[in-house]
Structure 1
Amino acid sequence: MRTLTYFIGTSLDGFIAEPDGGLGMFAVSPELLEFVTTQYPETLPGQVRAQLGLSGPGKHFDTIVQGRASYALALDAGVTSPYPHLRQYVVSSTLAADIDPDVTVIPSDPLGAIRELKQADGGGIYLAGGGMLAGQLLAEIDELVVKVYPVVAGGGVPLFGGGFAPVGLTPARQQVLGDGTAVLGYRLKRPGTS
């Protein structure tokens, strides 16, 4: 079975984007860029990969799932296929199904769609955002890889949207980069696991 990994950056106080959805509060240091390009190169959009001379398959994922607001960052830049090196899915009830031939729009039941994707052949699935979608998919998230930036936002888009529903985590990775960004990995505890 394929795994769903929520690979995301967050402020120390748990916000993945500014109130307007912007990402300007997250500085991309040389240390962070080196970490991502060597450890998770497939999580970089196609235009960035081209600028860095990256090509080939990823190390972890062959599929990306993102919410409408995350996808809007690409649309605002005039890009309809931001991750051409991955199979792309966007959860949205407002996007046209034919927005791009390389993008599959999931108009409803994201939880059911993810369960089907996890049963299909392929590599890992990269959940890129956003927070509301992550909250809806929490029951199917297998792993979190969180880049905790050394910044306090005070508000914005939360790491997980939804109501109060604690889920236990098992630590799987811990690394602090030279710029102070902490990369933390967790596996989600499921009933019957420790």
Structure 2
Amino acid sequence: MRKIMVAAFVSLDGVMQAPGGPEEDPTGGFEHGGWVAGYPDDVVGAAMGELLSKPYELLLGRKTYDIFAAHWPHITDPNAPDFAIAEAFNRVTKHVATHRPESLAWNNSRTLGPDPVAKLRELKKEEGLALLTQGSSDFLQTLFANDLVDELRLLVYPIVLGRGKRLFGSSAKPAGFRLESSQVSPNGIIVAAYTRAGDVKTGSFALEEPTPEEIARRNDLR
């Protein structure tokens, strides 16, 4: 069965908007575009290289698709630093959540159709390559709300951005994840891999018999 893997650059407060540059996504008045570029790191480069070295197909929201389609096909110099990524992204199949399927001009692009959730459930039942997201913060909310994510690959940067599009919104379905691997880069970036691991586990540290003060406190919350 296919897996959906979410890969994301995030700040300590969970913002993932416009990590690559000021003009990437300034919507909502976001002023810190390009926040990843201030922390160049060989460990992060190696982690991304390892992630993208495995067979995959891309799973993208429409806004990220447009960003990628305006950038990666135009890297044609074999000596360019990102040529290997460009070559891979141009080659692989791109599954796109869009209401404008007729405008998917980038080669090997496919629409997820009028019901992306249903289509993804079908794709996940198939034998095939992993579906890897990049960016797509708005579309990720749909994936998390419908419990479609099997793995997370997070690069957590030691910064607080305060506002911006976040990895997890209030619509995310509660879910447990298991940490599979982690490391901290020289610049303090946490590189972590998680896999889906059942439901959220809960318990209680309360006294077996609540005190009168505790009962009163609970009543005040109602």
Q: TM-score range by the shorter chain?
A: 0.7 to 0.9
Determine the structure 1 residue equivalent to 2:62: 68
> What do you get for the CA RMSD once the two structures are aligned?
2.8
Per the alignment, residue 82 of structure 2 pairs with: none
> 1:152 and 1:106 mapped to 2: Cα distance?
34
Give the Cα–Cα distance (whole angstroms) in 2 for the partners of residues 103 and 118 of structure 1: 18
Residue number in structure 2 paired with 1:10: 10
Q: How far did residue 79 of structure 1 move?
A: 4.0
Kindly provide the amino acid, as one letter, of the partner of residue 63 in structure 2: A
Query: Secondary structure of the equivalent of 1:184?
Result: strand
Displacement after TM superposition at 1:78 (Å): 7.8
2:46 to 31, 34, 39: 34
Unmatched segments (≥5 aa) in structure 1? 43-57
Q: Say whether the 8 Å CA contact 1:130–1:159 is kept in structure 2.
A: no
Say whether the 8 Å CA contact 1:64–1:89 is kept in structure 2.
Answer: yes
Change (3 A) 1:135 1:185: same
Q: Distance in 2 between matches of 1:150 and 1:169?
A: 22
Indicate how the Cα distance of structure 1 residues 23 and 91 shifts in structure 2: closer, same or farther if over 3 A, else same: farther
CA deviations 1:108-151 (Å, max 9, x no partner) are: 22211111222223222112232221221121111111110122
Unaligned runs of 5+ in 2: 19-24, 75-85, 202-222
| Corresponding position of 1:48 | none
Question: Larger deviation: 94-103 or 1-10?
Answer: 94-103
The alignment partner of 2:34 has SS state of coil
Structure number with the higher strand fraction is: 1
* CA–CA distance in structure 2, aligned partners of residues 161 and 92 of structure 1: 20
Taking only the aligned residue pairs, the percentage that are identical comes to 24
1:25 aligns with 2:19: no
Check if 1:125 corresponds to 2:131. yes
Question: Are the aligned partners of 2:16 and 2:164 in contact in 1 as well (CA < 8 Å)?
Answer: yes
> Residues 6 and 127 of structure 1 are in contact (CA less than 8 Å); yes or no, is this contact kept in structure 2?
yes
More helix by share: 2
1:96 matches 2:108: no
Q: For residues 164 and 124 of structure 1, what CA distance do their matches in structure 2 show?
A: 21
Higher Cα radius of gyration = 2
Question: Residue 163 and residue 180 in structure 1: after superposition, are their counterparts in 2 closer, same or farther (change >3 A)?
Answer: same
CA distance in 2, matches of 1:192, 1:179: 32
